Structure 1
């Protein structure tokens, strides 16, 4: 046996084995680095989408702030004028009552006949009943417009820079529902089951975006004859929980794992950007919260949002 040749071959095999191990190790490291880069790229893509959405919301906010300001001024003096008009009408009706009571005291038959005929022709009895109702209805309409404008300001917090504050999530949900009322009123009935939830530390305009995206998606998932959207809130330990449920079409199991991916949408081309839920996920994640979804085809969908009542010190305002 050629011992020197055997030793040489063994050394070669050992060196080769080491190279293979090193290559395997390098391959594993490269695979990990690639996965990390892929994850980082996805985060950058989501951050870019959120930045674009934030700029879009800021532009909309500036426009809405101007519109709200312009609408508030005329609404203010119209409501004031209606109050004055009501006072004047009360005085006119009082005087009219005096005239009607004095009809029997008028000696001239022609004058009495003319007064009665004019009263009948002008339908004074109907006007006395109808005018207060018209004024009250107009006042109610103006009050609704004022509430919508205030809700719009609350929705986007247009008069301040977004910052962390303790806010009431019920106020945020209510203002969101008023802003998107036209989008959902013919599609679904909204049922609110608010629990006793304390104010939470949050950026409420951002949470309003989350509520808006989920509720509008729920409304769009309704059958033609309409459905129900239930919004339930409660506290769970140190967290506030918001559950938004619908009895719409539901989400397939294959789509369920992708609904938070940027640009993924089940809507027809041109009907959705696929950004709403990915932005919602990013907002809830920035609030140190969780958002999960349960759904079944033909049964409906429930989004469960869990938010800490108080943020860690890094996010304190």
Structure 2
């Protein structure tokens, strides 16, 4: 009897603790959240992060501080996040660069095992364009010129995603040309308008204003259907290039081991923020589509992206040599 009484008392004590534990878990976040941007201020990602932070603050009633930690193709910011406590208070926004830098730039981390994918933010197509005075009006015109001059023409790129999208186009179209990286979207686009490069493949946020203004001629967008922002430009399937269906995307990541309840909370709050009028207007203005993925769906998507682009990098000899 004494033994039964003892264990009953233990059970009652444990039950008494449960509401307190649950209440403690429900207090997250009870201090500011740091949203790391691994690139310099002023770019498309920085603008997206700051608008998202504003929406999250209003919803969560907690400060979200955007911190820029640029350098080494984004790897400085990623490494800072990776070494942070996995408590949900330090998160990071990045592109596919986080998944390919170990292959492309010898980043010393595992792109799958070392992170917690929290939420995709949005996806945005790339567009291929040429100088409006080039005489090329259709993708067929460009392909004919590329095939008549194998290896002699140049394509401008800016950033990891732009480079990989250009490799995907080169593979899918069966053409040969040189890929010229530029340190920013502006210099890359100007190189085409100046005639230094014959073509450019860049995300819609950077390239769409030049297409809609008539400075560049858009030939194809890398999505299953046409973009509302450039409705006259054919989609990849329309152009006969289904393998050129590629998206630039932003996603939120945290260190490995974030508790499941905090992971799901952050994902739900981010998805709610993406539906606010300010975010919807912002996405529509740059031709991107807000994500609806939960954390498990984003993790599965991210794994597929890592595998896809690792194969492309290795097959094309793009990985760092040192």
TM-score higher than 0.5 here? no
TM-score for both structures, normalised by structure 1: 0.19
Greater share of helix: 1
TM-score for both structures, normalised by structure 2: 0.19
Greater share of strand: 2
**Larger radius of gyration between Structure 1 and Structure 2:** 1
